[in-house]
Structure 1
Amino acid sequence: MDKFSQSADAPESILLQAAAHLVNARQTGNKLDALPCNEMSLSLEQGFEIQQHVGVLAGKKVGGWKCALPKPGKWIVAPIYTDSIVSCDQYSLGSATSKVRIEPELACVLGAGLPARAAPYTADDITRSISQVHLALEVIDSRYTDPQKVTFEQLLADGLFNQGLVLGARAVSLTSTNLPTHLDVTLSHPGGEPVSVAGTHPDHDPVAPIVWLANFLSARGIDLQAGQVVITGSYAGVLEVPTHQPLDIQFGEAGSLSVFFSTLEE
């Protein structure tokens, strides 16, 4: 039996079939209208189980997680795969497109693992486990043709829009003990006016979502591992930026991140 909880209300074969469709969509770029189990109502646990099957079936290694404090009827949690984390100034997209959506975030790198255990993790545990804070951009995409037409559970199964992560330089003067609630973000690129956002962390406390994540995963027998990165929400919402142009994103006084999004045409 897998580490994560197995749902009793749906045959395992249906969840595996749904995961296989998502894997195919990731590998081929052919988007889905909905999962094959669309006629049945998935639970959050089943959506998460499908999500975990996707990584296993695709042979992916988890290099990090995205998370946020849960909202009514929603779990904000998804793996970020190692092969989609880029630590250089060029990010190659999987399809031809003139625009890409990004979310400017801070990425916390775990210097110590947080293994599954019976005792709950505390904010102090999380703070001690974070060794570095980096500037980052979450790259946003979906495996559905129209994400607004599928349920949240199906979005959860697909990893909640995560396509990848641009991991920038270490944030200047930021550590696990002084992660900001507010962070100004300015986007610049040739041929366009700079866009500035007086940013606020969506949960107001960047550590609290990681506490929730550690305990959520721990309850399902899943470890957070040393070296993994965790992102907890955008300081500027979703920004649509052009491909084939050098981009610069300034994170207040924490530093800047430069990236060039290329496509399969190049």
Structure 2
Amino acid sequence: MDQTPFAGMAESTIMQAAAELVRARQTGSRLDALSCDDLLSLEQGFEIQQQVGLLAGKKVGGWKCALPKPGKWIVAPIYIDDIVRSNHYPLNFATSTVRIEPELACVLGSDLPARSAPYTADDILRSISQVHLSLEVIDCRYTDPHKVTFEQLLADGLFNHGLVLGPQAISLGSNNLPVCLEVTLRHPGVEPVSICGAHPDQDPVLPIVWLANFLSARGIDLQADQVVITGSYAGVLEVPTHQPLDIQFGEAGSLPVFFSTLEE
């Protein structure tokens, strides 16, 4: 694959696609697809994604990632102003339900700058200072995400709307991140739902190793205090808005949250 960001596509086209996604984020509008006629490569989809943050004036507060799959890079920034550290998460659209993914969030205690030598699992383990309970909030800027290519989804940040960063996980650190974790969802008037979940990549640290080396190859640093999530232990859960919710992460603790919408 040609690694030149604008290979086969004019820089103006990359910037136009990024501007379309920025407008959709700022206005809450939905796109049927990006207007560029050319099929995007993964590198071009990633470049558009990076330009979105720059055009919108966003500061990266973390990353979502997973081990790559054939024809797919699972990587996207999470912006600081989309990370909510309280029990109240305001949604910028009207809805009676919201989709979430229960994940463990690793907080970096030291920088992982771009470099020529590859990062190892030991490097990553030493860099993780805390592990928190978290919920990735799922949404995108397309009318029907099933009708656009993966590269256009990558350009939009792979369904990331934001992150609820909950309390520090009880008795969990970088050296004992679980492969399996029972997740229990509770909200008023409904029987609790428990899922015996497992990390999609088995080892929660390996995606961060991949992320560090993927970004490093593109001159992008991981920075201290950034948060990295690597996959849901319970898939995607659809939960109600306007109700107090509690998500139990096995013995690691619980995360209470209330999703409000534009109606409030």
Q: Given residue 89 of structure 1, which amino acid in structure 2 is its aligned partner?
A: N
In structure 2, runs of 5+ residues without a counterpart are none
Q: Establish whether residue 15 from structure 1 lines up as the match of residue 17 from structure 2.
A: no
Secondary structure of the residue aligned to 2:176 is coil
Q: Which secondary structure does the structure 1 equivalent of 2:175 belong to?
A: coil
Q: Take 2:189 and 2:32, find their aligned partners in 1: how far apart are those partners? A: 36
Coordinate RMSD, CA, aligned: 0.8
- Where do 1:152-191 residues align within 5 Å? 152-191=150-189
Residues 79-106 of structure 1 show CA distances to partners (whole Å, capped at 9, x for unaligned) of 0000000010000001111000000000
Pair 1:235-2:223 in alignment: no
Deviations 1:123-161 (A, max 9, x none): 000000000000000000010000000000000000000
Between the two proteins, the alignment pairs up a number of residues equal to 262
From 29, 54, 59, the equivalent of 2:52 is 54
Which residue does 2:108 correspond to in 1?
110
Verify: 1:45 aligned to 2:49, yes or no. no
Q: Specify the alignment match of 2:196 in structure 1.
A: 198
Instruction: Output aligned runs, 1:142-161, within 5 Å.
Output: 142-161=140-159
> Cα–Cα, structure 1 residues 195 and 217, in superposed 2: closer, same or farther, change >3 Å?
same
Equivalence for 2:211? 213
Compared CA separation, residues 5 and 105, structure 1 to 2 (3 A) = farther
Asked if the contact 1:115/1:223 (under 8 Å) is kept, the reply is yes
Displacement of 1:192 in angstroms is 1.5
SS at match of 2:184: strand
State the shift of 1:234 in Å.
0.1
Extract structure 1 runs of 4+ deviating beyond 6 A.
none
Stretch deviating more after TM superposition (171-180 or 190-199): 190-199
**Residues 6 and 14, structure 2, Cα contact 8 Å, conserved in 1:** no
Partners in 1 of 2:133 and 2:246 — Cα distance?
12
* Structure 1 stretches lacking a partner, 5+ long: none
Is residue 78–residue 159 contact of structure 1 (8 Å, CA) maintained in 2? yes
- How far apart are 1:5 and its partner, in Å? 5.5
Contact 2:64 2:75 (8 Å CA) reproduced? yes
Match of 2:82 in 1: 84
Question: What is the identity, as a one-letter code, of the residue corresponding to 1:167?
Answer: L
Relative to the length of structure 2, the TM-score reads 0.98
Contact 1:5–1:220 (Cα < 8 Å) also in 2: no
Query: Aligned-pair distance for 1:7?
Result: 2.2
| Code of the aligned partner of 1:187 | L
Identity of aligned residues (%): 79
